[in-house]
Chains A and B, each alone.
Chain A
Amino acid sequence: MISSNRPLSPHLQVYRPQITSTLSILHRLTGVALALGTLLLTYWLIAAASGPEAFADAQGLIGSILGRLVLFGWTFALFFHLCNGIRHLAWDAGYGFEIETTTRSGWVVVGASVVLTLVCWVAGYVAMAGA
């Protein structure tokens, strides 16, 4: 193989961030974050399978201030990855490649992820008050 020192990928620093490129790397970042978050999901399931005491410990940890912060971030990552994933599936099916469309669908994804995250947390606190 011939190897050279020429850059193979565009130099990210010299580009003005655009909604399309920003969301593209965010999709990856949230994907990795969600993969790390599966540790929490697995822990929660193990705790539930281990009995009331272990489950109470897990709920206490997740319900702590730090736990709630992590869970809030995780909720946003989940909804962003979900919404942007649907955007990706539309592209896979051949739709939405116009520049204006990708910009618009990008902002729709941002708005939808923020709204869904907030709706989830409000609903969660309402359910908790009722429990």
Chain B
Amino acid sequence: MSLRSPLARVRGLGSAKDGTSHWWAQRLTALALIPLTVWFCISVIAMSGADYVTVATWAGSPLVGGLLILLIVATFYHGALGLQVVIEDYVHREMVKLVMLLVVKATSLVLALTGILSVLILLFSRT
């Protein structure tokens, strides 16, 4: 039991100065994902039933490779931010929450890196 009032306890600690950064990053990635997703869907549909060479040549061109990397970055960033909010809303045991948040972030990072490296391999192994 402290004799200090709640106000006295927080006074001077200041804000973290990034109150809206999570919200803003989620909106920006959402905005970026609209054209990227539409482009990706149209491309994949157009290649339905296409052979390996067609897909590898497509993914290995500089423009497509670049857009794919942007799609990967925006997707996993947006996804990690979204899953973070879901976990924070529903998981109330501090330790479980912390572990889940770290697992989501680590998994997103690994998957994003794996995807980016795959695109780079296709780009540099282009024949």
Contacts and interface: CB of A to CB of B under 8 A. Distances in A.
B45 A34 contact: no
B117 interface: yes
Interface residues of B, number: 35
B17 to A, nearest CB: 21
A115 interface: no
B67 interface: no
A17 interface: no
Given A48-B122, A89-B30, A35 B79 contact: yes
B111 interface: yes
Main secondary structure of the interface of B (DSSP, over half): helix
Interface size class of A (residues with CB under 8 A): 20 to 34
Contacts of B75: 38, 41
Contacts of A92: 27
A82 B47 contact: no
B47 A127 contact: yes
Interface of A: 28, 31-32, 34-35, 38-39, 41-42, 45-46, 48-49, 51-52, 55-56, 78, 82, 85-86, 88-89, 92, 120, 123-125, 127-129, 131
A38 B117 CA distance: 15
Contact of B79 (A38, A45, A51): A38
B31 A32 contact: no
* A-B pairs, 6 with minimum CB distance: A128-B49, A49-B118, A131-B49, A45-B118, A49-B121, A128-B48
B56 to A, nearest CB: 6
Given A78-B37, A89-B31, A48 B59 contact: yes
A46 B79 CA distance: 20
A120 B44 CA distance: 10
B117 A32 contact: no
B46 interface: yes
A35 B80 CA distance: 8
A8 to B, nearest CB: 10
B118 A35 contact: no
11 contacts: A31-B86, A38-B111, A42-B114, A45-B72, A45-B118, A49-B121, A78-B37, A82-B34, A82-B38, A85-B30, A123-B45
B111 A52 contact: no
Nearest to A51: B52
B103 interface: no
